[in-house]
Structure 1
Amino acid sequence: MSYITDQQQNEKNDHIECRSYYVGPMTAKLAAKSVKPNHFIIYYQLPDDKNPIPYRLRLYLAYKGQSEEVFHFPIVCGTNQRTGDPSWSLRHADSATFPTLADMIKYHRTYAYMDPGTGKVETFPIWKNVLIDCDDID
């Protein structure tokens, strides 16, 4: 008989919950229609119907703010230069780094920012115009 520890069960539950944020490959337009206000989804971004599908697809987080404007943040997996471990982050100016994609999801579903100008609470600091140009990501 094998026993599962509380930590293993928590990790399993986190993994299952984090999978619910992934919606599969889709266009940015469809992702914008799929995400609810003050929520986010994770998807591989397909080109619009007129363009061929590239060999590699970029992973994105789509977030719909309180004003119902949708933001598409590229997700970047790099390497921590100090430790050599994987490092996950969003491509925006205030982004922290995380050891796993699941940790990044857990962080963003837990914490929020308050816009000092309006008092609105948002999951991401979208009022700062924080998206970094993603043409240089690969």
Structure 2
Amino acid sequence: MGVYVDQTSALEAVFPKAVILHRVIAKGVDFLILAIFRQIFPPTGIYLSITYLLIADGLFHGKSIGKLLVGLQTFVPHKNKNASFRESIIRNFPLLIGYLFLFIPYLGWIFFFLIIGFELLLMIGNEKGLRIGDELAKTQVLDSESFEIKNL
């Protein structure tokens, strides 16, 4: 029922922006997983949460657990493939910086919400829904039900 994207059309295609609310919910689920790792596995939970944050979008063919539950996926249009661990690490690095600020009492939380808010504004304002991490990794988040994307 979706649109199949072949190698040649992916290079020229303009993919529709994923629903922002779905992206926020998916990232919320992923941040909940980070909190669970930190609480259940101290003191190594911090390292598990950082690792998950960085590689999450490379799991399950471009889907973090949050994206998998909501029906989104991270796609690399110029390569016509789902995001790998490499793209996931690059695209989530700005979020890692914000996440690390959470460990600074009071002021760190302000910086965290400023970074997250800025990323959200970029997603809303960009016609493809790209944030800084997407620009760096050359990725785009898509509704996975709209497209059948196969790695070649």
When the two structures are superposed, what TM-score results if normalisation uses the length of structure 1?
0.31
Higher RCO, 1 vs 2 (CA within 8 Å, ≥6 residues apart): 2
> Over alpha carbons, which structure has the higher Rg?
1
Structure with more strand by fraction = 1
Q: Determine which structure has the larger helix proportion and give its number.
A: 2
